[in-house]
Chain A
Amino acid sequence: MANTSSSASRSLPIVLGLALLAAMIAVPLVAPRAVTQDLFGILTLLVLAMNWNMLAGFAGLVSVGQQAFVGIGAYVMFAAVILWGFDPLVGVLLGGVGAALFAIPMAFFAFRLHGAYFAIGTWVVADISRLAAGQYKALGGGTGTSLPKGTTKDMFGVQFLKDLLDVSSAAAADAMTYWLALALAVVMLVASYLFLRSRAGLGLQAIRDNMQAARAVGVDPLRLKASVFLLTAFGTGLCGALIFIQITRVTPDAAFSVLDWTAFVIFVVVIGGIGTLPGPIIGVIVFYILQRLLADYGTLYLIVLGALGIVVMLFSRSGLWGTFSAKTGIDPFPLSHRPPASLRVQPVPSKAVKA
């Protein structure tokens, strides 16, 4: 009986989710280019946020150095296109791989540090990579460089889309990058869910909740945390490369910006609900609304964003989604497990009491 009611309550969010996904896929076909571009920005921010949420919310690794992976993803993609003559989409993949490779030595350094030291250590490493990128003269050094004109036009699939949809090649390129960002966000969400439901994910949450107890039952914290660090570096690198296809110009300060690629991301996750899967989605929506509403008041939206983050941490640490979910019991991505039947508390038979 319990099973039927839970499957009914679970199928509704899935139907809604699929309907939303279908609408999102259709956006470039029906909406003006500006909308597609805006949504591209939101989706990429969402991917970055989901990656940081995995790191900080589930693996307990509070990194302030995610901009290193965005920047390296972007720079490797530019190098792949400009220096090695690859298609930008191959460049995106290489960007992700490059970021993951960089994460290996970074992990060897940062994993010696704990808590606050880890946060500062990752920030310093990201700053080192920014300064090093400024020394890379082949890609313009400190002033950066642009993608050659027409790169996105010649990108894989753009000509096909252009003929198919009968639009300008710029619009076709926008649609292409938009769909890639959408795919990345969906894959990230589904992969996070499956991972957290898996044995490894359970171990990860066990570590977060009680390190000693988790180790006692055979969970290896270092290995799990290191694999999350590398995987999120890959995801962040992919996303960074994709973002800079759209921007078409890269400079060390923009590609390794702590504000754009880490601070915003942290606020999005915190406001939405850290350690919950839907949290980043809610956070991105709030971020976008704030940015829109306060667009005419300079950096006021940043002040509001920071203040909102502080308020959330002071009064409801699980963020908007966590609070909502706790109040209503609605959770489309349940991560909790029921104990096996043999372990459930059984009512004590009266005979046992007598004995």
Chain B
Amino acid sequence: MNLLDTLVQGILLGGLYALFAAGLSLVFGIMRLVNLAHGDMIVMAAYLILGVMNLLGLHPFVAVLIAAPLMFAVGWALQTYVLNRVLGDDILPPLLVTFGLSVVIQNSLLQSFSADSQKLTAGAIEAKSLALGPIAVGVMPLLTLVSAVAVIFALNQLFYRTALGRAFRATSDDATTAQLMGIRPQSVFAMATGIAMVVATIAALYLGTRANFDPSIGPARLLYAFEAVIIGGLGSLWGTLAGGIVIGVAQAFGAVINPEWQILAGHVAFVAILLLRPRGLFPRAND
């Protein structure tokens, strides 16, 4: 009974981690780019939503509709003007550029918004819960998981049903040959990062409505997200969802044993899975 409850809470938490990870997984899968600033960009998106809410007096779920295209532009510009210049065989330059970006974003947010924690208030929906058989499930956590599944479903449709998706897959498999077929990898990459930032904005919505956030929490979120991506396997979006759920469930059970073990349990699950399967559970692409 209690076990079932923990399991369900863990899966719901996993939905949040999968949302953090989906954008990362997309970018990582297509261009092998490790965006160490992804966590900070989610936090940045949360501040953007907050700004839109305060400026226009909107509900967070409406404000996200304005914030998302703005974040798309940020991602597109970042890829076009910065990241495309450092992509190559050597993984060090992109790694270090995004690491620099992480520090710049985090401290710029700190300078502009102070270290006070903020929250996106969504009103009555925050406290609502549904009775699913013997257990009660919060509406917000459930909505998070549903959104994660919807986002990953949509990304998969994009990936396998559209011309853009075909370009994504072709560039991921072999950028040189894709180029011969008339695809410009640079513009494909810019679209991918833009879309990843839209997903990051959706993640920011749930990050901000479910708990407090402040400028410093990005790197920890990045770590959970990366664990989800790596557990799931490179280039597999459903794998990323599975990875997020693995981390969420491990953390939920860890927290039951001892509240201090919550994060530790997630990390240990990550290490254990990687020891058994170094390429993750469902790898699609070769790295």
Given contacts A116-B32, A300-B111, A303-B108, is CB(A310)–CB(B97) below 8 Å?
A: yes
Residues of A within 8 A of B97 (CB): 309-310, 313-314
Judging by beta carbons under 8 Å apart, are A113 and B278 in contact? yes
Judging by beta carbons under 8 Å apart, are B223 and A123 in contact? yes
The distance in angstroms between the C-alpha atoms of A117 and B275, with both chains bound, is 13
Residues of B within 8 A of A109 (CB): 271, 274-275
B110 contacts partner chain A, Cβ-Cβ < 8 Å: yes
Judging by beta carbons under 8 Å apart, are A302 and B103 in contact? yes
Judging by beta carbons under 8 Å apart, are A306 and B267 in contact? no
Residues of A within 8 A of B268 (CB): 128
Encode A92-126 as 1/0 by CB contact (under 8 A) with B: 00000000000000000100111111011101110
The chain B residue with its CB closest to the CB of A117 is B230
CB proximity to B under 8 Å, residues A129-182: 131-132, 134-135, 142
Encode A35-73 as 1/0 by CB contact (under 8 A) with B: 000000000000000000000100000101000000000
A241 contacts partner chain B, Cβ-Cβ < 8 Å: no
Judging by beta carbons under 8 Å apart, are B271 and A128 in contact? yes
Judging by beta carbons under 8 Å apart, are B267 and A127 in contact? yes
Judging by beta carbons under 8 Å apart, are A310 and B275 in contact? no
CB distance from B275 to the nearest CB of A (A): 7
Show 21 A/B contacts (Cβ-Cβ < 8 Å), sorted by A.
Answer: A62-B91, A64-B36, A115-B91, A116-B28, A123-B223, A125-B271, A128-B268, A131-B263, A131-B267, A258-B219, A299-B107, A302-B103, A303-B103, A306-B102, A308-B100, A310-B82, A310-B96, A310-B100, A313-B86, A313-B97, A314-B97
Judging by beta carbons under 8 Å apart, are B34 and A306 in contact? no
Question: Among the listed B96, B108, B263, which residue makes an inter-chain contact with A270, where contact means beta carbons less than 8 Å apart?
Answer: B96
A27 contacts partner chain B, Cβ-Cβ < 8 Å: no
A307 contacts partner chain B, Cβ-Cβ < 8 Å: yes
Question: Among the listed B82, B260, B264, B275, which residue makes an inter-chain contact with A128, where contact means beta carbons less than 8 Å apart?
Answer: B264
- The A-B contact count (CB < 8 A) is 115
The distance in angstroms between the C-alpha atoms of A125 and B271, with both chains bound, is 8
CB distance from A251 to the nearest CB of B (A): 14
Judging by beta carbons under 8 Å apart, are A303 and B107 in contact? yes
The distance in angstroms between the C-alpha atoms of A333 and B280, with both chains bound, is 43
Encode A262-274 as 1/0 by CB contact (under 8 A) with B: 0100110010001
CB distance from A350 to the nearest CB of B (A): 43
The distance in angstroms between the C-alpha atoms of A311 and B95, with both chains bound, is 13
The distance in angstroms between the C-alpha atoms of A67 and B113, with both chains bound, is 28
The chain B residue with its CB closest to the CB of A142 is B260
Judging by beta carbons under 8 Å apart, are A310 and B267 in contact? no
Given contacts A62-B92, A306-B101, A307-B100, is CB(A115)–CB(B107) below 8 Å?
A: no
The chain B residue with its CB closest to the CB of A121 is B274
Residues of A within 8 A of B102 (CB): 306
Encode B80-109 as 1/0 by CB contact (under 8 A) with A: 001001100001110111011111100110
The distance in angstroms between the C-alpha atoms of A56 and B268, with both chains bound, is 26
The distance in angstroms between the C-alpha atoms of A142 and B260, with both chains bound, is 9
The chain B residue with its CB closest to the CB of A108 is B275
Query: Which one of A109, A116, A117 has the highest number of Cβ atoms from chain B below 10 Å of its Cβ?
Result: A116
The distance in angstroms between the C-alpha atoms of A135 and B260, with both chains bound, is 8
Judging by beta carbons under 8 Å apart, are A116 and B110 in contact? no
Residues of A within 8 A of B28 (CB): 116
Residues of A within 8 A of B219 (CB): 258
The chain B residue with its CB closest to the CB of A123 is B223
Given contacts A116-B32, A116-B34, A124-B227, is CB(A317)–CB(B264) below 8 Å?
A: no
A305 contacts partner chain B, Cβ-Cβ < 8 Å: yes
Chain A residues near B (Cβ < 8 Å): 56, 62, 64, 109, 112-117, 119-121, 123-125, 127-128, 131-132, 134-135, 142, 258-259, 263, 266-267, 270, 274, 298-300, 302-303, 305-310, 313-314, 317
The distance in angstroms between the C-alpha atoms of A313 and B95, with both chains bound, is 10
Judging by beta carbons under 8 Å apart, are A314 and B274 in contact? no
Query: Which one of B99, B223, B261 has the highest number of Cβ atoms from chain A below 10 Å of its Cβ?
Result: B99
Residues of A within 8 A of B82 (CB): 310, 314
Judging by beta carbons under 8 Å apart, are B223 and A127 in contact? yes
Question: Among the listed A113, A123, A307, which residue makes an inter-chain contact with B274, where contact means beta carbons less than 8 Å apart?
Answer: A113
Question: Among the listed B91, B92, B271, which residue makes an inter-chain contact with A274, where contact means beta carbons less than 8 Å apart?
Answer: B92
Given contacts A109-B271, A124-B270, A132-B264, is CB(A267)–CB(B107) below 8 Å?
A: no
Given known contacts A310-B82, A314-B82, what 16 new A-B pairs fall within 8 Å (CB)? A62-B91, A109-B271, A112-B274, A115-B287, A116-B91, A120-B227, A124-B227, A142-B260, A266-B96, A298-B111, A302-B107, A305-B103, A306-B99, A307-B104, A313-B100, A314-B85
Question: Among the listed A64, A132, A314, which residue makes an inter-chain contact with B86, where contact means beta carbons less than 8 Å apart?
Answer: A314
Query: Which one of B96, B100, B278 has the highest number of Cβ atoms from chain A below 10 Å of its Cβ?
Result: B100
Residues of A within 8 A of B227 (CB): 120, 124
The distance in angstroms between the C-alpha atoms of A317 and B95, with both chains bound, is 13
B226 contacts partner chain A, Cβ-Cβ < 8 Å: yes
Residues of B within 8 A of A270 (CB): 96
CB proximity to A under 8 Å, residues B113-159: none
Judging by beta carbons under 8 Å apart, are B110 and A124 in contact? no
Residues of B within 8 A of A263 (CB): 99, 103
The distance in angstroms between the C-alpha atoms of A113 and B99, with both chains bound, is 19
Judging by beta carbons under 8 Å apart, are B100 and A309 in contact? yes
CB distance from A99 to the nearest CB of B (A): 19
The distance in angstroms between the C-alpha atoms of A326 and B95, with both chains bound, is 24
- Nearest first, the 8 A-B pairs at minimum CB distance are A306-B103, A116-B34, A309-B100, A306-B104, A306-B100, A310-B100, A299-B107, A131-B264
The distance in angstroms between the C-alpha atoms of A309 and B97, with both chains bound, is 7
Residues of A within 8 A of B271 (CB): 109, 124-125, 128
CB distance from B116 to the nearest CB of A (A): 14
